[in-house]
Amino acid sequence: MTMKDPIVEEIRQYRMEHTRRFDFDLHRICEDLRQLEKDLGDHRVVEPRPKRLAPKTGQDPLVGKVMVRISQGREDG
């Protein structure tokens, strides 16, 4: 049983309409897409860089204890 995603279905429908417009001719379809890219010019989709989290003001109390136990060879609590 496959689930139909409405977004995927919409994309498939658009793709089929676009393909029919050019009688399923791959060369003409690609030419149309290249022209569309030219018409858009230097339009770029850019994701912003992730924001850095502010540093914590205090140290986590477990960090120092865990490091001491590991360095002493006692990893158990």
What's the domain count of the chain?
Answer: 1
Query: How many whole angstroms separate alpha carbon 26 and alpha carbon 31?
Result: 9
| pLDDT given for residue 49 in this prediction | 83
Residue range 16-74, pLDDT digits in tens: 999 999 999 999 999 999 998 888 887 777 778 888 777 766 666 555 555 555 555 55
- Do the domain assignments include residue 15? yes
Looking at the domain assignment, is residue 65 inside a domain? no
Q: Do the domain assignments include residue 67? A: no
Asked whether the whole model's pTM tops 0.85, one would answer: no
Residue 74 placed within a domain: no
Domain of 22, in residue numbers: 6-40
Q: Please, are residues 75 and 69 in contact by the beta-carbon 8 Å criterion? A: yes
Residue matched to tokens 């791959």: 26
pLDDT for the residue 40: 83
